[in-house]
Amino acid sequence: MSTDTAPAALRRHRTIHRRGAIGLLLVALPVFLLAWLIIFPIFSAVVGTIFVPGADGAREFSLASYRFFFTDGYSLANLWVTLWTTAVCGILLLAIGLPIALYLRFSQGRLAAYVQGLAIFPMFVPSIILAYALIRTIGPNGTVDLLLNSIGLPKLRTPYLTPWGPVIGLVWDNLPLTVLMLTAGLSSVSNSAIEAARDVGARPLRVFISIILPRMGNSLLVTASFAVLGIFSAFTLPYVLGPASPEMMGPFMQRTFADMNDPLNAMTQAVITFGFCLVFGILYIRSIARNPETRP
């Protein structure tokens, strides 16, 4: 290395170093918010529910709030109804979303655009307005009852205020992202692979099972994880459309925290929802970490 190139290299090194520092400075504030308002509360909730203030004010190790949750019949019924709702919604979302996404992947024209528009439309409807609209539609003496009555059919038992109420609302609300995510996953399946399979005489079902499905495993996993994480602790729709007892974990946590003024048990319920969603959270993080498209 000659004597005059050394300072140039040093200068370049310093410039890179300075740009790196500026970059870190620019991202510092949102990173701080992320750490303070997402990561810290999770640790704080876990620690705060395990080390609780004792009689003398000092914190001591105790699993009493967890013991209470897992021995309390009402808490367990709420957990069960939440698991049931999440499973039913997850299955329904994939069963409805996948055929729509497949149709959109292979179709063009006005009808396909209309179907896509409708499938994405709920994203533009806030859940509180949806909740209100569904009460007027499927509630007692709602529009569905009116229409059934007008063609001489008896009333259906309304799903409103039963566990099926939140299922209908949550499927409605989560359909757009499910369809968008599955369509994004399907776009990675190349046309030539499908054409090749068709040319050798494969039927649509065969093409789906042998060509499409293996290539969109990751996309299915992310979509399902995302739906589960969203539905497990949903609040507005279960609160407005669901039964008062047993209730889903979202309304249960809200009531314990605000109405019963019992933050310790509310936090315990929150940590339990983290625990039940942990597998899906890990699957989600693992797949976005692997996916090159989610990098800047």
Partner 1 sequence: MSIGRSGISLRFDWIGLLFACLLTLFIALPLVVVGTWAFTEVWRYPSVIPQQFGLRFWGQTLARPDVWEALLLSLRLTTTVTILSAVICLPAAYAFARMRFPGRNILFLSFLASHAFPKFGLLVAIAGIFLQLGLISTFWGVVLIQLVGTLMLMIWIPVAAFQNVDRRMEEAARDAGATPLRVFWSITLPQAAPTISAALLLTFVGTFYETEGAWLIGAPEIRTMPVLMISFINNQIVVQYGAVLSVMLWVPSFIALMFARRVVGTGAFARGFGA
Question: Using CB under 8 A, which residues numbered 236 to 295 contact partner 1?
Answer: 236, 239-240, 249-250, 253-254, 257-258, 263, 266-267, 269-271, 273-274, 277, 280-282, 284-285, 287-289, 291, 293-295
Q: Burial letters for 238-250: b for 16+ Cβ neighbours within 10 Å, e otherwise?
A: bbbbbbeebbbbb
List the interface residues with partner 1, window 25-54 (CB under 8 A): 26-27, 29-31, 33-34, 37-38, 40-42, 44-45, 48
Which residues are CB-neighbours of 295 under 8 A, at least 6 positions away?
none
List the interface residues with partner 1, window 61-90 (CB under 8 A): none
Contact call for residue 19 and partner 1 (CB under 8 A): yes
Which C-beta is closer to partner 1: that of 6 or that of 59? 59
Q: Tell me, by CB under 8 A, how many residues bind partner 1.
A: 113
Nearest by Cα to 273 from 40, 63, 75: 75
Contact call for residue 223 and partner 1 (CB under 8 A): yes
Nearest approach, Cβ of residue 140 and partner 1 (Å):
9
List the interface residues with partner 1, window 183-212 (CB under 8 A): 183-185, 187, 198, 204
Number of C-beta neighbours around residue 198 at 10 A: 14
Place of tokens 């069960």: 80
Helix axes 263-290, 73-106, angle to 10 degrees: 30
> For the CA atoms of 244, 246, 250, 252, what is the dihedral angle to 10 degrees?
80
Nearest approach, Cβ of residue 13 and partner 1 (Å):
13
